[in-house]
Each structure stands twice: as structure tokens, then as C-alpha cells.
Structure 1
Amino acid sequence: MSKKLIILARFSEDDIRESYAFLLNKKKVLKEDQHKFEKCDTSYANEIQIFPYCIDVHAASYFVSELHRSSFFRIQVWNNHTSLSHTDAIMLQMLLKEPIRYHMDQRFGSQVQLLVNEKIELDHIMSCLSTLGGAFSSLGDQFLDCAKIAGRISLQQYKIAEKLSDPVTLMRCQLYLSISLIQCNRFRNARIVITSVYRSMKSRPEELQDKRVISMCLGIWAKLKYHWHLENNKVKQMYIT
């Protein structure tokens, strides 16, 4: 029969979080039933040696990872705990305690670093597109082609904002697009975008509302009314003449 080194890790006496059984003579690691060893009767207690520990969660994580990695380490742990030659199983009961200070391991830290670098790059691209889009948008009132380019830039910003998962930035990109729609005389589409963003922001709890987005909606709405008024006057003058 293969010798078993059983690990129980939990935060309280009534809460078993993880349990593993390492076969000493094999590389196989079994994921044990969490309630299998929760209570040991007298007959079972004669077949297993139980060693209680109170250990920091980080130290416990390192310990279990090393058991997974090294068969030699498993044998050393077994030899340091067993005193009965006929024992077929050893249970290390780890009562976990909160660390004084949490820290990330190297693998998770590298993954977080990749996300941080991606966020920095996306923010940089967003800033560049905002500058470029603002330049074309300022010329959009006089040149239709510039207004169309500004609209395409707004769409690119919207895609980046989706990756950033920033709902406020998404709303601002929609408003940038609405300015381009106004300059292209697509007033109906612009009205739909502006009212949608305004209602979406106002539906939030007051502490989560972004006042800048609300002010942008009101300002662009005024721009929409002004351009609509100018376009209507052009139509009326055309009919008069």
C-alpha cells in the first residue's frame, strides 16, 4: 500500500478550504474529499498520525507548492514526522492565519505587470487620439472631410475604451462621435447619442455621476440646436430665393 502524506489547510476548525493527499512513492497528487478527514474516529486514528500546525498563509502556500514539485521533499517531510514503521498515512493539519502583510508571488506579479504596461500603452494611445481628434474636430465646422476623420478617430477611441473597461470614457467617446455627426448634419443620430449618454449617466446614483460628462451633454446639445437652427435657416432662404 502506498504511503500517504495528507495536507489539510483551513482558516478555522469548522472550515476546510483545501485538502491534498501525496502518494510518497509516486508523483501522483490526489485531490481529497474535503469532508473525508474532517472527523477521525478511533479506528481510523490508529492508522494515521496527525500533526497540527498554525501557519502563515504564505508559508503554507510555499510548503504545499514544494510538496507538489519535489518527491525528495515529500520523503523528507515524511521522515521528519513519522515514528511508527507501520504507519501508512500522515496528516498535517494546517490552521491558517492571516499574514501581517500580503504580497504577490513572482508569477502573479509578472501577470499584473503585463496588465499595467498594457493599461499605460492604451492610455498613451488614447491621449494621442484625443489630441488628434480634437484638431480635426475644430476644423470640422468648416471642412466636412475633417469632421468625418474626427468621427473615425472617435470610433477608434471607443474601441480602446472598451479594452480599458471604463464606462465613463466610453460615454465621452460617444459624445465625441456625436460632435462629428452634428458637423456632418446627421442631427437625428447625434440627438439619439446625446440623449442616450445623458440618460445613462443621470440614471446612476448621484455619487457615481460624472459632472463633466453631464456638462458635455448639455454643451453638445446646445451645439446641436445651433447647427440645426443654421441648417433650417439655409433651407428657408433656399426656398425664398
Structure 2
Amino acid sequence: MELIVCICDYWRCYHYYNRPIPPQSVEDTRQVNTKIVRRLLLEMDAVSANYVLRELLQQQVLRHLLLHELGVELLWLTLRPPQRSDSIDYKWASMLSHTIWQHIVLEQLMCWLSTLGGGYSALGDHFEHCAQTAGKISLQQLAIGLRVGNTFLQARCKLFYSISLIQRGQLRQAKHLIRSQYRFAGGKDNKHKKHDQRLLHMCEAIWQRLCYEYEQRKRRRDESVKRF
């Protein structure tokens, strides 16, 4: 035995839940036609009908009551508009939809900036103006991270900016920036005991790049001393 729920909305469209499998033969059709199905017809506002439908689909108490105690096998719900328009919080729904749409736009903007910043960062090893542009893009991403309130996104943007600092030769500023983000990601000095492995690996990789640039600077300095 199965309870069938039919919803008739404002536009006279029908939505079925727990709908049985249609018969495949003539004999099955005759059996279905001769079977008596007790129906329960209800008309209620859309808000109340939504609660009833959730109760029927997710809980067993009301479904057991209709099937076994009342013998209802077909529940027909006809929807009508609610009498009070303030039952739906349209102001909150508008604010929520605006916030969701804002996050979607910001996510798309972050994707475009990441692609563009990656290209300029790759060219920053050979052209200083490309490294400067990559740094500006990282700062724009950081502004978006501050607006969204995602602290780990802000940390990643700061690490991307440290790459631009390394490419422009500002190694001391990059060193302090990488160390601060390493502590935030869960390094040895982290007090909150929270770890972000991806951010830690990023810090370690950029730190290796920083050490390489320090070695290259020291080598060039030693060569210039030997010449004189």
C-alpha cells in the first residue's frame, strides 16, 4: 500500500509524489480500475500545504495515520494564495537573493582576476612592469576577500602579492609577509591549533623561491666584489 500525494498549484498544474508504476497490460488496467481508492480532498493556502507536504515526505506519523487508520490512499491538495501577504518575508528574501547574487559575481570576478594575475605573474620573472601589474591584481583580490570576509582567501592573496614583491626585488617585505601567513595557516607559532595544509604548502613553496632569490643576490654580490 502506498500513499499518493497530488498537488494542484495556482496554474492548475499537477505534481505527484509517491506515484505508483503505471500498468503494463490490460489485466493490470482492469485490476487498477476495479480497486477502490479512498481519496481525501483538501484545499489550503500554499504556506500550510508546504508544511503538510514536508511532513508527509519526511515523517511517517502523518503518513501512517492517513494510510492505516483513515484508509486514505490518495491525498489531493489544492493550493490557494495565502490570505495574509506578510506570511512570506519578501524583504528578507530580497536581501538574501541580493547577497547570493553578489557572492556569485564576486566569485566570477575572482576567477577572472586569478587567470589574469597568473599570466602577469609568469611574465613577472622577465618584465618588471608585469610583476607590478600582478601585484596590483593581487591587491584587488585582497579587497574582494576583505569584502567577503574570507580570511583564508585573504591569506592566499597576500601570498600572491609576496610573489610580486620577490620578482621586484623587495625580499625583506616578502619575507615578513610569508612568515605572518605561515603563522596564520598553522605554523609552529600558531596559537589557535588550526591548520590549513594547502596554505602551509603555498608558504613553504614561496619561501623556497625567496631563499633562491637570496642566494642569487648573494652570488651576484660576491661576483661584483671579485671584479673589483
The TM-score bracket by the shorter chain reads 0.5 to 0.7
Does residue 177 of the first structure (1) align with residue 161 of the second (2)? yes
**Cross-structure match for 1:223:** 209
Helix, strand or coil at the partner of 1:142: coil
**Cross-structure match for 1:141:** 125
Greater helix content: 2
| Counterparts in 2 of 1:104 and 1:212: CA distance versus 1, 3 Å | farther
- Structure 1 residue 227 displacement after superposition: 1.0
| Counterparts in 2 of 1:134 and 1:104: CA distance versus 1, 3 Å | farther
**Cross-structure match for 2:80:** none
**Cross-structure match for 2:222:** 236
Of 209, 224, 231, the residue aligned with 2:195 is 209
**Total equivalences in the alignment:** 140
TM-score normalised per structure 1: 0.55
Structure 1 residues 46-195: aligned runs within 5 Å: 105-195=89-179
- Structure 1 residue 167 displacement after superposition: 0.2
| Counterparts in 2 of 1:104 and 1:170: CA distance versus 1, 3 Å | farther
TM-score normalised per structure 2: 0.58
- Give the conservation status (yes or no) of the 8 Å contact 2:185–2:197: no
Q: Distance in 1 between matches of 2:88 and 2:221?
A: 66
- Structure 1 residue 144 displacement after superposition: 1.0
The Cα offsets for residues 100-128 of structure 1, whole Å up to 9 and x where unpaired, read as xxx96221011000000000111111111
Helix, strand or coil at the partner of 1:226: helix
Helix, strand or coil at the partner of 2:126: coil
Q: Distance in 1 between matches of 2:125 and 2:217?
A: 13
Q: Distance in 1 between matches of 2:224 and 2:140?
A: 37
| Counterparts in 2 of 1:163 and 1:232: CA distance versus 1, 3 Å | same
Greater strand content: 1
The AA in structure 1 aligned to 2:114 is S
The AA in structure 2 aligned to 1:195 is R
State the superposition RMSD in angstroms.
1.8
Using the aligned pairs only, state the percent identity.
Answer: 35
Gaps of 5+ in 1: 1-57, 60-102
The AA in structure 1 aligned to 2:224 is M
